[in-house]
Amino acid sequence: MPGQPLALPSADELFEDAACGLVLTDLDGRILRVNRIFCHWLGHGCEQLIGQRRVQDLLTMGGRVFHQTHWAPLMQMQGSVAEVKLEVVHRDGHKVPMLFNAVRRRHGDVMFDEIAAMVVHDRQKYEQELLLARKAAEAAQAQLTHADRRKDEFLATLAHELRNPLAPMQNVVRLLKRQALEDAQLVWAREVLDRQLAHLTHLVDDLLEISRITQGKVDLRCQRMDLRDALHVAVEAAQPFIDSAGHALALSLPEVPVMLHADPTRVTQMVLNLLNNAAKYTPQGGRIALTAEVRGGEAVVAVRDSGIGISADQLPGVFEMFSQVASALERADGGLGIGLALVKGLAALHGGRIEARSEGPGLGSEFTLSLPLVVEAEDSVGGQEVMDMAMPEPIPTAPGVLRIAVVDDNEDSADSLAMLLEMQGHELRVANDGLAAVMLLAEFRPHAVLLDIGLPGIDGFEVARRVRAQPWGQAMLLVALTGWGQQQDKDATAQAGFDHHLVKPVNPDDLAPMLERLARQA
Ligand code: ADP
């Protein structure tokens, strides 16, 4: 009511009926003052505790040991402990789980320990529910993954089976082409067959390719190569299509070689895909530009067109498998929406990436393909420059938070280790085989990788070598997790580029110092 002073509770009342247990002790733990609620939780009267008992005397045996080995030293060293869960023994013998916070503070000339405690039944219940929800989500995820794998397998089988009858059909068309046909209708029929068969073959090949990539079955034949050569081959292959649509193609390539460690056929394939799309999604008589340059330790290839463009909401989805923008469908020419997914997969396998930009519908599109430059180990001056430029651009994380990848074909080991590290606040990703690991690391660019050696596909040694061959992989902390701890095993991991060698089962305490050091630098 206006004018009437509020009747606030006194400090004593606040202390006694606080929403948590409050205890004041001397440095030995002896209870000097305790509030009503804490005594009530333990079934004691306050007078039975004050001056009579030490806090540690109220704990279970395990709690007392913890108090001695952790709590007391921490109070001495840092003057506080936070969120410690311990069990306190009720007067009737049952255990009450509690969460404690304590600080050491000076009042006048004397130091005291001030302790706040909460009963954690509710929290436990809540945590259990969280755990159940998480398990349900994981089960749903596992089901989805299974269905997804079945779909990939089905597509792979389908592509394979479709390809078998295509080969003899192509041979027959080739045979027919050798015939000097007189009948104009037959000539026309042969041409239709030829064109449609080529189109069908192209679709089936794309399907087969993407299945191989999603199943990790693509083997790159990487070699030292000049990017410009691959670009010339792609332009040559795309030129007829570009010309037939009446587009003008502008080329701008560096004058000096741009050396990559890559598979030339695949690089050509990626750029050819982008050029064909530019021609396909640009109305007759448009402009297409192909440029290549070296930027930030990477080769950056850009294909720009003056075509139909892509709206902002469709842009993020264009690299997904089978994605087709509705407005582009009439031009899709029977495409399956696989081409860009293929480019994305191949780019990742090379340790690179692809990005799309467009100002919007009608305003053209730009696709940029970035691939790591080769690291010239033998040329220390030039090589060092490349490596300096090629340091991974750190994707910022909160201070002390690391991006960590765990690679292990034993899913339970991988998941549990990842979960443990996630609980320490880090950002975690998991891969279960070698190729998946290479793709994950290229995309995720973790600060640290915990890498099992025995892996399906390519082993951990090869993963480490491939990572170290990339500019962005130089600074990554690579930790080998292996069953073997002999000196020769350690030599082998060191030689493959690992920074540390840990023998399984890994004790997370062994990891802690490495990660702490890394977090300080990150
Ligand atoms: P497809 O061309 O077979 O449909 P892609 O994976 O190559 O499959 O492309 C996926 C979709 O992305 C296309 O259907 C189209 O909507 C859009 N797209 C690709 N390239 C361009 C481009 N240069 N301009 C506008 N849209 C494009």
CB 432 within 8 A of CB 408: yes
Summary mean pLDDT of the chain: 86
Between 368 and 204, the higher pLDDT residue: 368
Q: Which of 68-72, 122-126, 437-441 comes out lowest in average pLDDT?
A: 122-126
Q: Whose CA is nearest to atom 8 of ligand 1?
A: 337
Higher pLDDT: 222 or 87? It is 87
* Ligand 1 centroid to residue 280 C-alpha, Å: 8
Among protein residues, the one with the nearest Cα to ligand 1's atom 20 is 277
Check whether domain 135-214 has CATH 1.10.287.130, yes or no = yes
Selection from 92, 91, 86, 79 nearest residue 27 by Cα = 79
Q: What is the pLDDT of residue 49?
A: 95
* Of residues 416 and 138, more confidently modeled: 138
pLDDT given at position 325 = 65
> DSSP letters of 149-192?
HHHHHHHHHHHHHHHHHHHHHHHHHHHHHHS----HHHHHHHHH
Task: List all residues 6 or more positions away from 352 whose beta carbon is below 8 Å from its beta carbon.
Answer: 298, 369, 370, 371, 372, 442
- Residue 201 CB neighbours (<10 A): 16
pLDDT at 68 over 50: yes
In this chain, the answer to whether the domains covering 13-119 and 403-521 adopt an identical fold is no
Mean pLDDT value of segment 176-182: 85
Residue 377's pLDDT band, with cuts at 50, 70 and 90, is: very low
**For position 280, what pLDDT does the model report?**
93
* pLDDT for 513: 86
pLDDT of residue 382: 33
Which atom of ligand 1 lies at the shortest distance from residue 340's CA? 6
Number of H helices and E strands in the chain, helices first, is 15, 17
Question: For ligand 1, what atom is nearest to the CA of residue 342?
Answer: 6
Give the residue whose CA is nearest to atom 13 of ligand 1: 324
**1: pLDDT strictly greater than 70:** no
Q: How far is the CA of 451 from the centre of ligand 1 (A)?
A: 37
* CATH architecture under which domain 223-390 falls: 2-Layer Sandwich (3.30)
Q: Give residue ranges with CB within 6 A of ligand 1.
A: 277-278, 281, 305, 307-310, 318, 323-325, 328, 332, 335-341, 365
Q: Tens digit of pLDDT for each residue in 447-470?
A: 999 999 888 878 899 999 999 988
Q: Which CATH number fits domain 13-119: 3.40.50.300, 1.10.10.60, 3.90.1150.10, 3.30.450.20?
A: 3.30.450.20
236 CA distance to ligand 1 centroid (A)?
A: 21
Residue with tokens 């990742």: 348
Question: For 243-270, how does the pLDDT look when each residue is reduced to its tens digit (9 = 90+)?
Answer: 999 999 999 999 999 999 898 989 999 9
Q: In this model, does residue 303 exceed pLDDT 90?
A: yes
% of residues, the chain, pLDDT over 70: 91
CA of 365 from ligand 1 middle (Å) equals: 10
Pocket test for ligand 1, best of 210, 275, 281 (most atoms within 8 A of CB): 281
Q: How far is the CA of 276 from the centre of ligand 1 (A)?
A: 10
Confidence of residue 376 (pLDDT cuts 50, 70, 90): low
Which CATH fold would you assign to the domain 403-521? Answer: Rossmann fold (3.40.50)
- Give me the residue spans of the domains in the chain: 13-119, 135-214, 223-390, 403-521
Do strands 95-107 and 80-89 pair parallel, antiparallel, or not at all (unpaired)? Answer: antiparallel
Q: Is 295 helix (H, G, I), strand (E, B) or coil?
A: strand
Residue nearest to atom 1 of ligand 1 (CA): 337
